[in-house]
Amino acid sequence: MTVIVAARTANDGICIASDSLTSSGWEKLQLDRSKVWVSNPYVIGAAGCVRTSQVVRHFASWPKFRPDEDTDIEAFLVKSVAPAIKDATKDAGVEHVKDGVVHLNASFIVAWGDYLAEIAGNRAVCVPQYGRHAIGSGYAEALGFLGKQGPWTIDQVVEAARRATISADGCEGPIDYATTKGLAVVHGALPGWDAEPMPQQVATFRPDPGLQEKKPKPKKGAHT
């Protein structure tokens, strides 16, 4: 249970932010473990099993991205990035087989330059359509704050993660973030003055007249 949220910014590349709660069952173990890390030129955020994310963090050899050659981003992820995770975890005792498919109890958001994608536990690749994405138990709160219209600011991404700590179970602690431009993790970030949510289309509730309570007509000669 966690929140990892990523979004494309105007000036800082991709920003990935996360909460910092680590838990085991019902026990909170620590609040200062960063779920976001940097491996130049990548920024990675992990949700799920701590052991799995540690193995990927310390053993993965991330591929070099060649923009002139790697023009198909999905193909690059499937052929190069997902296998890097597979190579890191295959002998670490963190894989399990489900329905004949090797799974990890973790998923990842990987970002570089202006690109971001999710690598799921079965190593399926998801390239988000709107330039933002979130994983973990707090994903809905984070995406609900960001909306679909970007680009966003660092403060808005940080605030999206903070919103998840308010209402999503298992999301807590200071917010960490990193950008593909800065390539350094900032710990305990607080949203600044420009963390206002993106404009959203607001629906107005209009009750169905057919469902409104019908008042009985007064009888003739009766007074109310």
All structural domains of the chain, each given as residue ranges with its CATH number in brackets, are: 4-190 (3.60.20.10)
**How far apart (Å, rounded) are the C-alpha atoms in residues 109 and 120?**
9
Q: What percent of the chain has pLDDT over 70?
A: 83
Q: How confident is the model at residue 33 (pLDDT cuts 50, 70, 90)?
A: low
pLDDT at site 167: 87
Separation of first and last alpha carbons in the chain: 59
Report the interhelical angle of 154-167 vs 139-146 (nearest 10°): 140
Kindly state the tokens that stand for 175.
């917010």
pTM: 0.83
Residue type, 128: P
Cβ neighbours of residue 91 closer than 8 Å, sequence gap 6 or more: none
Kindly state the tokens that stand for 36.
């976001």
Average pLDDT over residues 106-113: 97
Name beta bridge partners: 4.
18, 135
- For 160-187, the pLDDT digits (tens) are 999 999 988 888 888 999 999 999 999 9
* Contact between residue 21 and residue 189 where contact means Cβ atoms under 8 Å apart: no
Average pLDDT over residues 121-148: 95
Residue 210 has pLDDT above 70, yes or no: no
- In Å, how far are 20, 67, 71, 164 from 48, measured between CA atoms? 12, 31, 30, 16
Q: How confident is the model at residue 89 (pLDDT cuts 50, 70, 90)?
A: very high
DSSP character for 9?
B
The angle formed by the CA atoms of residues 173, 175 and 179, to the nearest 5 degrees, is: 160
pLDDT at site 34: 87
**How far apart (Å, rounded) are the C-alpha atoms in residues 148 and 131?**
8
Helix, strand, coil percentages (3-state) for the chain, rounded to 5, are 25, 30, 50
Name the average pLDDT for the chain: 86
pLDDT, greater one: 216 or 122: 122
DSSP codes joined into one string, 142-187: HHHHH-S---B-HHHHHHHHHHHHHHSTT--S-EEEEETTT-SPEE
pLDDT at site 31: 59
Average pLDDT over residues 202-222: 48
Residue 203 has pLDDT above 90, yes or no: no
